[in-house]
Amino acid sequence: MTQVISDILQRAADGGRITPEEALLLYLEAPLHPLGEAADAVRRRRYPDNVVTYLIDRNINYTNVCVTACKFCAFYRAPKHSEGWSHPMEEILRRCGEAVDLGATQVMLQGGHHPDFGVEYYENLFSSVKQAYPQLVIHSIGPSEILHMARVSSVSIEEAVRRIKAAGLDSIAGAGAEMLPARPRTAIAPLKESGERWLEVMEVAHGLGVESTATMMMGTGETAAERIEHLRMIRDVQDRTGGFRSFIPWTYQPENNHLKGRTQATTLEYLRLVAVARLFFETVPHLQSSWLTTGKDVGQLSLHMGVDDLGSIMLEENVISSAGARHRSNLHELISLIRSADRIPAQRDTLYNRLAVHWTPDDDPSDERVVSHFSSIALPGGGAGKSLPLVDAR
């Protein structure tokens, strides 16, 4: 290891800021173990009690009809397609009720860019969920949906955000980030807004008091430099707003979409990116692993690369599952992954408030009904009216 790399790692581990150029050097050339050790030093300083958090939530898709036609997406159907569907409100509320019964504290309401769904649709959606289940945090949609609804309703971004916040939206998901730099974004989603526009919506939302997460999809042919540029673009906004609670990188899934798995990120590339992100984002509090796309073994390894959150027991997930994600878990297994990595598990809420810290195994919850699920949209009509099946998590 060169002295230059060693010095950068030490500065970052101590909480100092590193440049994008230094981050790229670490990503490409830093030995894996010192890189992971530096990232974990940041985690230990931030969270000296050694707690790693998890969440119980449900992703509920209100429609698969979409006009954007992203090449990596296996979920959407074009308007008037025979396999297109939109759930009635009673079906959405029924799924929210199931989630509450299983201990969920959050719902993610997400869907395609339906040509008829403007701000009014989302006002009704969020207010109906809030009225029926005020205990659920609505961490939902993303900048792409906000731009779409504003366009359909001919209103500004500011007005759209104000109205959906008033209707009950608590937090914006990092959905639609994929890759923010122009070249890879245009290659995989030519009809989607630019990365700069995506970030502009986030900045407006942060200014109106709506925080969010930030994400990144790896493995669609982007370069290492473009991955680091993605991080830089997020950090620049975070410097101005402080509104990103966490960063969540995940890996492209290759089934049933137009990219057909021609690229994909390796496990090593993913773990190195996770570690560099922890060192680069000194102003983003949390770093979440994506075991849903990488697998539980890689998710556990990421806990040694600076990660402090293992994500959720996702009671329902349709979009990534449609593209081939087949990793499932249950509450007991997720807690065991955290504990066997020599960390202390804790259930959190959307804002990372700790709801229950499992200091010892005697504190662990044991609800065997809380399992993650395969996609339900394989069923006709998006699985409307179908209950969550009780499946084992093997």
Cβ-contact 15, 45 below 8 angstroms:
yes
Q: Phi, psi (5° rounding) for residue 66?
A: -150, 140
CA distances from 178 to 25, 37, 174, 345 (A): 23, 28, 9, 29
Q: For residues 78 and 81, what is the distance between their CA atoms, to the nearest angstrom? A: 5
Q: For residues 204 and 270, what is the distance between their CA atoms, to the nearest angstrom? A: 30
Cβ-contact 353, 334 below 8 angstroms:
no
127 is in an annotated binding site: no
Cβ-contact 108, 136 below 8 angstroms:
no
96 is in an annotated binding site: no
126 is in an annotated binding site: no
Secondary structure (DSSP) of 229-283? HHHHHHHHHHHHH--EEEEEEEE---TTSTTTTSS---HHHHHHHHHHHHHH-TT
Pairing of strands 137-140, 171-172: parallel
73 is in an annotated binding site: yes
312 is in an annotated binding site: yes
Query: Six-digit token pair at 7?
Result: 């010095």
368 is in an annotated binding site: no
Q: For residues 142 and 127, what is the distance between their CA atoms, to the nearest angstrom? A: 17
Which positions make up the binding site? 66, 70, 72-73, 178, 290, 312
Which positions make up the binding site for [4Fe-4S] cluster? 66, 70, 73
Which positions make up the binding site for S-adenosyl-L-methionine? 72, 178
Which positions make up the binding site for (3R)-3-methyl-D-ornithine? 290, 312
